Structure 1
Amino acid sequence: MLFKDGQHILLIGDSITDCGRREENAPYGNGYVSLLRAFTTARHPEVRLTWTNRGNSGNTVRHLAQRWDTDALAPRPDWLSVMIGINDVWRAFDGHPQNAVPLDEFVETLRGLLRRAVEETGCRLILADPYVIEPDREEPQRATSDRYAAAVAGLAEEFDAVHIATQRVFDHAMRCTRSEDWSHDRIHPNLAGHALIADVFLSAIEL
């Protein structure tokens, strides 16, 4: 396993990471972060890890930039997992285009944040793609999201990060299921959808 005894794992992002971690489901939320923590602990009880969830619902990369110092750098994690980009795309399609983040701004902002994290804390990175649980790759939001996911994959290679191909996992599942089986709105997963995300994380860290 990539995680070692005594390490601190911090996961930051939007509502997919948040999942009520500041409310009734504190401190880990009731989504993929909680599942990943539980199954990692179950499989490797000898590896004592500290887990921190810093997802904030509604966040774009602009919001991450505003809270990066306190929420990502100050805790000085050994591993920093970032899943961001869904809202950066979605806002262009949900009636709030002024809050969408153009691809070039998204890439440059995220690159700068990741560089700071590595240089100032020495952490290893995990980068998870944004996604839309939509099988039609020509559908406008899905097509746009795929470009952002490709950019995240490029940053993962640039920073030698662990890459979580979230969209690919949902695409594989939708070969025999419907989008509604995983989410009511193509974005926010149900428990099974969060399990899919947690499972691909587990596969990546078990290398």
Structure 2
Amino acid sequence: MLTLEKNARIVFAGDSITDAGRDRTAEPGGWGFGTGYVNQIHCLLSAIYPDYELVTINSGVSGDDIVMMAERWQRDVLDLEPDYVSVLIGVNDVWRHFDQPFWKPKRHGIDVYEQVYEDLIERTLPHVKGMIIVGPFMYEANQQEPMRAMVSRFAECARRLAERHGLPYVDVQSAIDRYLTRQHTCIVSQDRVHPYERGAVLITREWLRAVGFDWEREAIDD
């Protein structure tokens, strides 16, 4: 059974995987959801649960790490008065350690990630009905590859935080790992981080599972 209450407002926060080219001029919850998993979730919830009249808002910002996201949390999340907040953040916290070796931007480790994430959860929970924590991931099958290994450590941190606060945790990496036993990463992502639309489906399916989405639902107003 769907764990989201009827007429609820769901705000999705995160980086470019959440942003996915959303229209920043759009009325929040009205249109412009981007081409990624947020749009897919919006379409499926709207089509299969029309009686719930759920409002979907995409607040993802391309390039964000957890520190950058936290700086705008009040404006981008809390000011939108959400009932539920879904968070997918962490891959940029890792990526900056690998993709700019000849320039030294501000970098932080998993300790900062955990502290800031904990603060955001504690700051948000008194104002919402629930939060959904989505673990960061890569479309990379080799678990010993250095960036993938670090992403996995950040994902385990996100899982611990979810468990600590009794929140649903969406394990996208496990779904990706299963997929990559049969197909190459280039089918779902160009750079192992940003998904094509079919790569976003893996995120969407796991997120919907976490909130009790019924793929076979036929009755309305049940």
Q: TM-score, normalised by structure 1?
A: 0.95
| Deviations, residues 31-71 of structure 1 (Å, cap 9, x unaligned) | 10000110111111111111110000000001111101111
Contact 2:41 2:204 in 1 (8 A): yes
Contact 2:84 2:128 in 1 (8 A): no
Give the equivalent residue in structure 1 for 2:18: 17
Contact 1:14 1:59 in 2 (8 A): yes
Give the equivalent residue in structure 2 for 1:45: 50
Shift of 1:204: 1.3
Report the structure number with the largest CA radius of gyration. 2
Higher share of residues assigned helix = 1
Q: Output the aligned Cα RMSD.
A: 1.5
Give the equivalent residue in structure 1 for 2:218: none
Mapping 1:128-143, distance limit 5 Å: 128-143=134-149
Gaps of 5+ in 2: 214-222
* Structure 2 counterpart of 1:186, from 171, 189, 192: 192
* Structure 2 counterpart of 1:157, from 163, 184, 188: 163
**2:59 aligns to what SS in structure 1?**
strand
Give the equivalent residue in structure 2 for 1:61: 66
Give the equivalent residue in structure 2 for 1:3: 4
Give the whole-Å Cα distance in 2 for the aligned partners of 1:42 and 1:162.
Answer: 23
Give the equivalent residue in structure 2 for 1:107: 114
Give the whole-Å Cα distance in 1 for the aligned partners of 2:201 and 2:7.
Answer: 25
Gaps of 5+ in 1: none
* Structure 2 counterpart of 1:204, from 204, 207, 210: 210
**2:105 aligns to what SS in structure 1?**
helix
Give the whole-Å Cα distance in 1 for the aligned partners of 2:23 and 2:116.
Answer: 26
Contact 1:88 1:99 in 2 (8 A): no
**1:175 aligns to what SS in structure 2?**
coil
The amino acid of 2:41's aligned partner reads L
**1:168 aligns to what SS in structure 2?**
helix
Give the whole-Å Cα distance in 1 for the aligned partners of 2:122 and 2:191.
Answer: 33
Shift of 1:98: 2.9
Contact 2:15 2:65 in 1 (8 A): yes
Give the whole-Å Cα distance in 2 for the aligned partners of 1:189 and 1:97.
Answer: 27
* Structure 2 counterpart of 1:81, from 70, 86, 106: 86
Give the length in aligned residue pairs: 206
Contact 2:64 2:92 in 1 (8 A): yes
The amino acid of 2:125's aligned partner reads V
Shift of 1:5: 1.1
Give the whole-Å Cα distance in 2 for the aligned partners of 1:87 and 1:24.
Answer: 25
The amino acid of 1:178's aligned partner reads H
Contact 1:92 1:99 in 2 (8 A): no
**2:200 aligns to what SS in structure 1?**
helix
Contact 1:76 1:123 in 2 (8 A): no
**1:74 aligns to what SS in structure 2?**
helix
